[in-house]
Structure 1
Amino acid sequence: MIEKKSLFTTPKGILIIKQRGIGDVILSTPTIRTIRKYFKYAKVSLVLDTPSTELFTSDPDVDEIIEIRKGIWNILDVIIRIRGKYAIVFDLISTPFSLFLSFLSGAKVRVGWLKPENFRGRFYTHQVDISKSIPAISSNLRAVRRLGMVPVTEKVMVFLSDKEKERVKKKYFKLLSLKEEENIIALHPGHLFETRRWLPERFAQLADLFRVSGYQVVITGSKAEVETVEKVKRFSREDLTFLPPVSLREFACFLSSVDLLITNDGGPLH
C-alpha cells in the first residue's frame, strides 16, 4: 500500500478520464478542483471526447488535454502519450475502453467504479462502489474520497476570462440588436436525445409569452440542433431572435450575459 503522504507528493502525473457528454464532464469539475488541490506539483492530464475539450483550454487546474477522436491512429497516439507517465488514474466512467486506457497507462494506482454485476471493477487497484445511485457531482467525488481526499467544493465551474466574456457579449449583442439594459431570456430547445427534449411547440409558446410580456428572447442551438430550432421558429407567432451556432466557449460566454436560461436537462443547464 502506498502511504498517503507519498501518494500526494508523487513526481509523476495524474490522469483523469472522463469521456462523456458535455454536461457530464462539467459535473466532474469539482473532482478536478479537488485533485489539483491535493496534487499541487503533479501534472494533471484530462482525457476527453472532442466536443468537451474546448471548455478546458484555459483551465488553471488542467495542465494537458488528451483528446479522443475517431480512428485507430488517434487511439495509438493516446496510448503512447499516457504510457508510463502517470502515478494515478482516476477513471470517472469505467467503460471497457476507459478501463483499457487505465490499465495500459501503467499507473500503480487506478481508481474506478465497481458494480456488483460487472467484473471490470476488479482491474482497478482502488474500487469505488457505485451500486447506490447518487447525484452525479457526489458520484464523481467518490473517486477522490476513495484515496482519503476531502472535496474542496461541490460547485461546478468552467473558467472564462472577463475579457473573453466581454468580447463575446459585445459581438453578439450587436449582431442580435440586444439591449443590455433590458432583461434577456435564452431558450435552448435542443438535446442529444429526443426523449429528453421538451416539445418545440411548447418552447415556441413560452417564447411568445415572454415576447408579448416585453422581454428580449433569444433561441439558441448548436449545428446539430438546427432542425429543432427551426421547428420552434415555425411554431412561433412572434418575431424571435436566434443566436447562430457558435463555438462552445462562445456559447458559454453568451449564456453568462443573459438573465435567464430555460433549457432541457443537458450541457447548457450545467
Structure 2
Amino acid sequence: MSPIRIALVGIGKIARDQHVPAIAGHDGLELVATCSRHASLDGVRSFKDFGEMLRDVPEIDAVSLCTPPTARQAFALEAFEAGKHVILEKPPAATLAELEPLVAKAKQANRTLFATWHSRFADGVRPAREWLADARIERVTVNWKEDVRHWHPGQDWIWEPGGLGVFDPGINALSIVTAILPRPIHLTKGELSFPANRATPIAASLRFADVTGVPVEAEFDWRQTGPQSWDIEVVADKGRLTLSNGGALLRVDGKTVLEGRDREYPGIYAHFTELAASNRSDVDLAPLTLVADAFMLGRRNTVEAFD
C-alpha cells in the first residue's frame, strides 16, 4: 500500500520537535510539503500560501494543521474542498462553534477529520482507564504546572484571544482526565489569573464533579521553574492511582506499574492512518468544552504583568 502523503502546515517548535519525527518514523506516511509564512524544512517542498500548496502538490492526501488555533478552520475547510484528510493539533479550534462545520464537511467530503489530543496517547493512559473502569472513585487531583518561557519561547499568540494561555498545557491534563474517568465531569467553580498585560490566563484553579458528586480539583500554572509538574492522582476503593510525567509513568499505591516512553505523537499518526483507511473521523470536544466552561464560569483575577 502506498504511504499517505502529508503536508505539514505551521512549522514551529511543536511541528519540528514532534510531528516531523513522528511522520518520518511511520512507514505508512510521507511528508511531501510544508506551509509556513516564516519557516521551512530542508529537503521538503515549502510554500507560504496554503492554496498554492494544494494546487502545486495535488498528490497530497492529508494536511496536518499545526498553526495557532484561530487559523485552522479556514485551512481545514479548504483542504476538504480539495479532497484531503485533516489532522488538527490540539486544541482543535479557537471556539467550539468552529468545529461543527468541519465535522459536517468531513462527512460530506468522505474524508477523515482527526482532532488530536496527544496526551491521551501517553503509555499510561489506557491502562489507567482500564484500572478505573470498575473502581469506586473518591476524588481526583490534577497538578499541571510548567514554565511557559521554556516551552513557548517568543510565541506571543498564546497570550492573545484564542491562544488559551495556561489552558494550552492545561487542556492536555483535561484530555487525560476525560479519557480515564468512567463518567463525564462538569465545572462547578473556577478562578482564573490574568496578567495585567495579557488577554489569556497564566494560572487557573478549577473544581469539577461528575454526576455522582465525585470531586475533581485541578491546578494549572505557567510560572513554574525547575522541575515541571504533570501529575494526576485518583483515589479509589481499589487504591491510589497516579499518572506522572504527562501520563507516561503509572503507579498504583506508590508502586510503578508502567514506565513508558515518549510515544504520544507516533500514537497520533498511527491512529490517523487507521482512521484514514476507512475515511472515519475522531472528534472529541470534551476537553475543549471544559476549557470553554472555565472561561464562562471562572472568576477573573488580575495579577502582576508577565513578560
Shorter-chain TM-score: what band?
Answer: 0.3 to 0.5
Higher helix share: 1
Higher strand share: 2
TM-score with structure 2 length normalisation? Answer: 0.32
